[in-house]
Structure 1
Amino acid sequence: MPPSNLSSLTPDTFILTGIPGMEQLHVWISIPFCSMYLAALLGNGVLLFTIGTERSLHQPMFLFLSMLAVADLALSTTAVPRMLALFWFQAREISFGACLTQMFFLHFTCMTESVILLAMAFDRFVAICFPLRYGAVLTPSAVAKTGLAALLRNFCIIFPCIFLLRRLPFCGHNVIPHTYCEHIGIARLACADISANVWYGLVVPFTVGVLDLILIAVSYGFILLALSRLPSRAARHKALHTCGSHLCVLLLFYVPAAFAALTQRFGQSIPPQLHILLANLYVLFPPLLNPIVYGVRTQQIRDKVVKVFSLPRARD
């Protein structure tokens, strides 16, 4: 094949179209999206600042929560600024390398959140089922190693997607009907068999996510069993309340994630506009609502936020 044809197999840039058929509404759609993004930055920033400045919150439960806040910020920041640039300034072009980088961090961050939620479930399991061993099991070193293991595992899972995409010829096809780059959306532009991409992109991350969810369910099964043995109704209520925030965050993460993954691959009957809108809301809703859920339901965080941000009283 002539060199000119070889060089045309991989495009220099991709074109992001935004939401197909709704181009005239991009500016209006950007208003709630931008508002939610700014609120997510504020909420997670307040949460991180409060946990970082209050030594009483330097406990495993809140350290895992701070990891979740960092992952939320990374998830929304990877997608939303680029999306807003497209909506406001018609910045549709994105280089091939930048597109793959955005794809990697989006999927990597989603997988990281799944591991953090599993770690938070284990934290509640140890706190409720083995309260006397809590400090010995969940040491600061164990928390740090958990975070490092999460990053390493997810890197090994998502990094092969880059090689699966780079091996594909695109034959000049470079228009992505989306607001950001994701694995299958890029692969569908290729003029070659993408079965490996489809199966790897579906089976491996989905299997790992389901495994995390099963382990979370097992943890809560043991938690419910331990709670049923508590003699005091007040003690059972207090323990359940400490798990309530985590359960809400689990629903906020796993339900939209499963819906987005399945509709991307099997939801051909769903209008593309609806799919892309839901995909954008997925990178906004968990980062927006997670700090609200924990702020409202966790009294320790509420009290410390008020303490940190309350104005000092004027001296008499």
Structure 2
Amino acid sequence: MTTANVATRKLLPGGARPTRNWREIRAAYGFISLWIIGFLVFTLGPMIASLVLSFTDYNAIDAPEGVGLANYRELVTDPKVAKSLGNTLIYAVLYVPSSMVVALLLAMVLNRVGRASGFFRTVFYLPVMTPTVAVGALFLLLLNGQEGLLNRTLRLIGITGPNWTTDTNWVKPGLVITMLWSLGGTVVIYLAALRQVPKDLYEAAEMDGANAWTKFRKVTVPMISGALFFTLIVQTISALQMFDQAYTMFFGAQQNSTYSNEAALFYVIYLFQQAFRFLHMGYASALAWLLFLIILIITAVQVRVSRRFVYYEGEKD
């Protein structure tokens, strides 16, 4: 077949694409049409509606009344916004690195297990499937300052455990322990990344006299940095949206003291209270958009910084 014929088959007169290509494009859009409809109806539509509501006074019963920027001005003066946002940021700083370190350690152990790794991988992932409300209720009992299993275990080795659910200094560390229960997804991601590290890199490092720590720092971490970066973003967003376990443990049927409630007042919990307890839908929408902006800024900073530390195989300097 000549070059002219190939060009004629690829491009019809007037620059039009062949009919078969358009059929493939229509088929592709047909396959993703349900997702597009779902995104427009259940994601983009509600986002636009909440943005509009953030400039109104709306109680979900009466018609919305426009208030301009009043809701956003109230965000600046509301002390509970600062309190809940501070609690959320402190929790995120405690949880994100802890979760990544623990998950990486477990993944490295699984990577050395061999054939039994499939069984343990399933065991570690099962807690992810446990309902979050059930996890919160369970750890409310496990972290009980007097009769909880954790403090009983600590007493066996001569350590007096703190009041995890009532001492304001230990509420957020207790919640971090609770959330470490469901690290199975992160463990699986790290395990997959570890198994993609070429063995010859470790052999070359050993020939250069590298010890275990040097191989981990110079070979393992750079080669799995893409997975580390992905989980960093996901875990950060998850931490900033902390709700289920904290609400179950501190704002559910079994209320703890007011002080522990204040220490566990996370931003999304306060947003939930404003929306569905006090019916301040307009103000809650403004709270939601503030959180969206905070997450957007933090993620943008992480992406910017990651360019210096994340290695992707196949990239050229």
TM exceeds 0.5? no
If the length of structure 2 is used for normalisation, what is the TM-score?
0.29
Structure showing greater radius of gyration is 2
If the length of structure 1 is used for normalisation, what is the TM-score?
0.29
Task: Write 1 or 2 for the structure with the bigger share of helix.
Answer: 1
